[in-house]
Amino acid sequence: MPGITGIDGLRAIAGGASQETWSFDAVDAVDAERRRPLILRRAPPGSAPPAEAIGLRTEARLLDQLAASGVPVPHVTGVLEPEDGLGEGYVMSRLAGEANPRRILGDDRYAGARARLARQCGEALARIHALDVERLPSLRAGGAHEDVAYYRQRHDTVGTPRPVFELALQWLKRRLPDSPARRTLVHGDFRNGNIMIDEKGLCGILDWEIAHLGDPMEDLGWMCVNSWRYGRELPVGGFGTREELFAGYEAAGGHVDRARVRFWEVLGTLKWGVICESMAVSWQRGDVRTVERAAVGRRASEAEIDLLCLIQEGDA
């Protein structure tokens, strides 16, 4: 970046299981007191990207398009090149706000934001799903049929015997919905942990690495998965109700198909369980020996409990 001579305050931000995130300030060449708060997002050295990931270069291009459309995302300031010697990644602006789920749910300063956050998430998703996909970078297309088959294969490849996962896969196969009338941009990981808030509510949407074209109800169902409630009872990220999420979505021009949302909530729970067991295998093999991967890996059993509860409720 022109005028930048150095960096200060470089530190890794914990929480990223697939990608590394580094926070730092770029120091101005003329006035060292002038700083530009930035984030480096890059692939861990030696690791294979998730099979469904779009690649960080494509992710950077997508962020440019989203920002131009008014979606609250960080501004990309540069993409890493081979000669930089840092691997694959990009640099973006560091948004002011809070992304830590436990602070979002527990800090008194965000009480007002929590009261409106589920509706704001619904509104944001409706705007994302309304974008013209022809103007976006090339993204994979996916849907319920493809995802059930993919996570069946992924579980069979890396998983250990888990009867609950088998039960969930059969449950999902019997209830596969028809293809949606229109494929939209799907964030793919819209949840508490990938959103940023301030005292007014939602101010940023992060981590677009598995964005794709598909059923918009996927994002709504994923937002309701129990793992993103962090021990709280409210089904939308621990801070809101499904009714608030759906009302915001429909107020912003979207249409909610509640049965499809329910299907995607079950599939999302299975998906998270398979991701957890994949992380455990990656750690055991020594591919990426990070605390995050080990911690995520042990949570596959939590997904089993959630699946049993969801299937029982759905059948009842």
Residue 10's domain is classified under what CATH number?
A: 3.30.200
Asked if 292 and 187 sit in the same domain, the reply is: yes
Question: Residue 202: what are its φ and ψ, rounded to 5°?
Answer: -60, 125
Q: Tokens for 178? A: 């028809």
Strand partners, 185: 213
Domain boundary among 39, 66, 93: 93
- CA–CA gap between residue 172 and residue 159 (Å, rounded): 18
Evaluate whether 42 touches 86 at the Cβ level (below 8 Å).
Answer: yes
pLDDT confidence tier of residue 314, bands split at 50, 70 and 90 = low
Backbone φ, ψ for residue 66 (5° rounding) = -65, -45
Q: What is the pLDDT of residue 300?
A: 86
User: Which residues, in sequence order, are CB contacts of 237 under 8 Å at separation 6+?
Assistant: 101, 104, 105, 117, 118, 121, 191, 192, 195, 223, 228, 229
pLDDT tier for residue 161 given thresholds of 50, 70 and 90: confident
**74 and 124 inside one domain:** no
**Please, what is the Cα angle at 177 between 171 and 178, to 5 degrees?**
150
| Domain around 71 | 4-93
128 pLDDT above the threshold of 90: yes
Instruction: Provide the pLDDT confidence category of residue 19 given band limits of 50, 70 and 90.
Output: confident
Q: What percentage of the chain reaches a pLDDT higher than 70?
A: 88
Question: How confident is the model at residue 299, as a pLDDT?
Answer: 81
Q: Tell me which H or E stretch contains 205.
A: strand 201-205
| pLDDT(109) > 70 | yes
C-alpha pair distances (Å), 155 with each of 32, 104, 142, 161: 52, 33, 18, 9
* CA-closest candidate to residue 39, choices 59, 54, 53: 59
3-state secondary structure of 217: helix
Using only the alpha carbons of the chain, give its radius of gyration: 20
pLDDT confidence of residue 280: 67
**pTM for this model (two decimals):** 0.90
Asked if residue 135 and residue 82 are part of one domain, the reply reads no
pLDDT at residue 263, as a whole number: 97
* DSSP code, position 178: P
* pLDDT band at 92; cut points 50, 70, 90: very high
Are residues 121 and 234 located together in one domain of the fold? yes
* Domain stops at, among 38, 68, 93: 93
* Claim to verify: residue 145 and residue 258 sit in the same structural domain: yes
Q: What is the mean pLDDT of residues 35-59?
A: 86
| pLDDT at 282 exceeding the cut of 70 | no
Give whole-number Cα distances, 213 to 154, 203, 218, 258, in Å. 21, 24, 11, 20
In this predicted structure, the answer to whether residue 33 has a pLDDT above a threshold of 70 is no
pLDDT number for residue 16: 57
pLDDT computed for residue 284 by the predictor: 62
Identify the CA nearest to 100 among candidates 187, 18, 218, 198.
198
Q: Encoding tokens for residue 33? A: 């007191």
Secondary-structure breakdown of the chain: helix, strand, coil percentages, each rounded to the nearest 5: 45, 15, 35
Kind and range of the H or E run holding 7: strand 4-12
Backbone angles phi, psi at 197, to 5 degrees: -130, 160
Same domain, 160 and 295: yes
Q: Are residues 140 and 82 in the same domain?
A: no
